[in-house]
Structure 1
Amino acid sequence: MSKPPKKVTTVRCACGSVEVEARGEPIMTTACYCDDCQEGARRIEALPDARPVLSPDGGTEYVLYRKDRVRCEKGAELLRPHKLQEKSVSHRVVATCCNTAMFLGFDRGPHWVSVYRARFQQPAPPVEARVQTKFKPASVTLPTDVPSYPSYPLGFMLKLVGAQVAMWLGR
């Protein structure tokens, strides 16, 4: 039997009515510029009193955790999924108490949850890579503080596969 991860991070909605707990170290922290993330962010930002989701450069910053290490500890009844299309397998989860974007999840498939980086109390984990930059707004020049990739780089994919293997092995 594996030991539970020692590190516990709690993220909260803007008003504090919803708390989500993430256990262990994140898989990685990214800024995504894909069309879906940009559109999802715009829709959430259009909700009454919603907080910003897009960063100034047009990306959406996420901290990725294994799905088995994320759970809602408070206010689960206030969480609502938002889908871009009815048949989409991904959904952005919003705390309805204050229209705060909490995380991106999946109905089936991927073994990770993408928690919105803005939900972390400071200091939030630093962004390690910018992905799907081929979709960034044309007017934006990306910072050069971390690597940027037009799609998903091999290292990103290997981290996700490694996390899935560790999950299967109960580590």
Structure 2
Amino acid sequence: MTETRTTLECGCGEVTLAVIGKPIINAECLCTDCQEAGAFLQTLDGAPKILDQNQATRFVLYRKDKVKFHSGSNQLKQYSLEKDLPTRRVIATCCNTPIFLEFSNGHWLSIYGLLWRSEALPALDLRTMTRSRPVGVELADNVPNPNTHTFIFYIKLFKAWLAMGFRSPKIDVVSGELNDQ
């Protein structure tokens, strides 16, 4: 049985990658770091809108071994809010499209949902870190809206890690820092 392969690309098409099979989970993140990084990244020249009307960032989480980079990796630069934070956001500098968020030593990549055509974007499973949503933002109740990460969220990540044999592959397609431009 062949797993579904979805090809994704940055805004200008120079960076291409594929995700294989089903995602771990589909989420919107409302943490302050995603809000701050999204607000900055969407101000870059030609960058797409990252934050939605609620200041959430849409992600589709995939195991690292289910993400294959095909072209344009020389355009990938990382951006971190602070030097010692355990996350990096990777941007295609050819058109300033965000590609993924990675946690240090994590076994998954949070692929930015804006890489999918709207009709192909997997259905949202939950919103997370809603305790950090901006004052006055009321969230729809169409999916769970927990204050932090749920037990189910962690179980899904653990099952994915188990399926990978508890490996955390390195993603070495990034060629420097966004700040170095």
**TM-score above 0.5, yes or no:** yes
How far apart, in 2, do the equivalents of 1:89 and 1:135 lie? 19
Matched positions, count: 166
Tell me the distance in 2 between the aligned counterparts of 1:40 and 1:168. Answer: 32
Q: Say yes or no: does 1:142 pair with 2:127.
A: no
| Matched AA of 1:116 | Y
- Distance (Å, rounded) in 1 between the aligned partners of 2:6 and 2:80: 26
Mapped partners of 1:60, 1:113: distance in 2: 14
Runs of at least 5 residues in structure 1 that lack an aligned partner in the other structure: none
Percent of aligned positions that are identical: 35
> Normalising by structure 2, what TM-score?
0.87
Aligned-pair Cα RMSD in Å:
1.5
1:151 aligns with 2:142: no
Q: Which has the larger displacement, 83-92 or 157-166?
A: 83-92
Residue of structure 2 in register with 1:52 after alignment? 49
Residue correspondence of structure 1 range 18-167 to structure 2 within 5 A:
18-106=15-103, 108-121=104-117, 122-167=119-164
Residues 126-168 of structure 1: CA deviation (Å, up to 9, x unaligned): 1110000000011211111111000001111100000000111
Hey, which bits of structure 1, 4+ residues long, moved more than 4 A?
none
Q: What amino acid is the match of 2:116?
A: F
- Aligned partners of 2:42, 2:144: CA distance in 1, in Å? 27
- Structure 2 residues without counterparts, runs of 5 or longer: 168-181
The two structures have a TM-score, normalised by structure 1, of 0.92
